[in-house]
Amino acid sequence: MDQSNTSITAFAISKHLALSSVQMGLIFSAFVWTYAGLQILGDTG
């Protein structure tokens, strides 16, 4: 749900923080890779 909400507000966030679309993509990618890695670690229990 959070990813959906963030993608909807991405334009407003990037405008407010003066970020380019490439920078926003890097931020979203960093979130996804971190989330995926933690899912793998959390699944080993």
CA 21 to chain centre: 13
pTM of the predicted model, to two decimals?
Answer: 0.64
Closest to 19 measured CA to CA, from 32, 1, 5, 6: 6
Q: What is the pLDDT of residues 14-32, one digit of tens each?
A: 999 999 999 999 988 998 8
| pLDDT above 90: residue 5 | no
The answer to whether residues 21 and 14 touch, using CB atoms and an 8 Å cutoff, is yes
Instruction: Tell how many helices (H) and how many strands (E) occur in the chain.
Output: 2, 0
For the chain, the structural domain boundaries read: 2-42
| pLDDT above 60: residue 36 | yes
Residue 4's pLDDT band, with cuts at 50, 70 and 90, is confident
The answer to whether residues 26 and 15 touch, using CB atoms and an 8 Å cutoff, is no
pLDDT of residue 44: 67
